Structure 1
Amino acid sequence: MKPTDFFEGGTVSVSAETYTVYKTTRPDPEAFATIQDETETTVIAEAGSVDESTVIEAEDGWKRLTFEMVLPFELVGFLAAVATVLAEEDISIFALSSYSTDHVLVKETDVAAATRKLEGLGCAVER
């Protein structure tokens, strides 16, 4: 099983929403994602939706690209392939994985270039 098996004919959806990646003092149950470890809490939420009194730092202007395909745990190199083709265009990513789906956040200004690169892998990109 190779990443190319999933790219060809796979669908990537681009969020209508614009997200902010927040470093906060606590989780936000309404956020798209919250990542919490022993040292910090990161919240990914629609821009302006987090209680500002909890925000330590914020990085605005992200769009979410969701790989609308079930990715098995034993699949090796999927995100590496995505990161590589986007890096070729100097596109920075913020990667997130759920149980069976991967997401990457890219800056809003990079969506068009990211779309072209993902289509080059064989993905159909939906906006």
Structure 2
Amino acid sequence: MNPTEFLDGGTVTVSDETYTVYKTEHPESAAFATIQDENETTVVAEAGTVSGENVIESEPGWKRLTFEMVLPFELVGFLAAVATALADEDISIFAISAYSTDHVLVKEEDVPVATKKLEALGCAVER
């Protein structure tokens, strides 16, 4: 499977919400996503929704770009194609994969360039 086939004609939505990526003491119920391993807990939540006493570190100012398409497990290189396209524009990403789709967080100031780059790959970007 070619990842460009999924990008061409695919829809990407840009969140209205602005997110913060937190390193926390424990998971948060208000989180969009929680990643917990044996070393740390990372919480992605709307800005200002995580309590201060739980926060170890934080990185604010992210917008969520959601690929509104079902991505099969056999698909190889989808996220690599997206990451490479955005890296070409010097855009840092924070990627989250759900069971059937991917989300890429980019800094709020990078959204205009990121959306143009995704449109160049054939995506319809909705705000």
- TM-score between both structures, scaled by the size of structure 2: 0.99
- Secondary structure in structure 2 of the residue aligned to 1:90: coil
> What does 1:42-81 align with in structure 2 at a 5 Å threshold?
42-81=42-81
Deviation, 1:50, is: 0.2
Map of 2:110 onto structure 1? 110
In the alignment, the residues of structure 2 paired with residue 102 and residue 108 of structure 1 have an alpha-carbon distance, to the nearest angstrom, of 18
Amino acid paired to 2:49: S
Map of 2:33 onto structure 1? 33
- Unaligned segments of structure 1, at least 5 residues: none
Q: Identity of counterpart residues, as a percentage?
A: 77
Map of 1:17 onto structure 2? 17
What is the total number of aligned residue pairs between the two structures? Answer: 127
In the alignment, the residues of structure 2 paired with residue 78 and residue 50 of structure 1 have an alpha-carbon distance, to the nearest angstrom, of 31
Amino acid paired to 1:125: V
In the alignment, the residues of structure 2 paired with residue 72 and residue 44 of structure 1 have an alpha-carbon distance, to the nearest angstrom, of 24
Deviation, 1:75, is: 0.2
> What does 1:81-96 align with in structure 2 at a 5 Å threshold?
81-96=81-96
Deviation, 1:8, is: 1.0
Deviation sequence 1:2-46 (CA, Å, 0-9, x none): 101111110000000000000000001221000000010000000
RMSD across aligned positions (CA): 0.4
Deviation sequence 1:61-98 (CA, Å, 0-9, x none): 00000000000001000000000010010000000000
In the alignment, the residues of structure 1 paired with residue 117 and residue 104 of structure 2 have an alpha-carbon distance, to the nearest angstrom, of 13
- Secondary structure in structure 1 of the residue aligned to 2:103: strand
- Unaligned segments of structure 2, at least 5 residues: none
Deviation, 1:101, is: 0.5
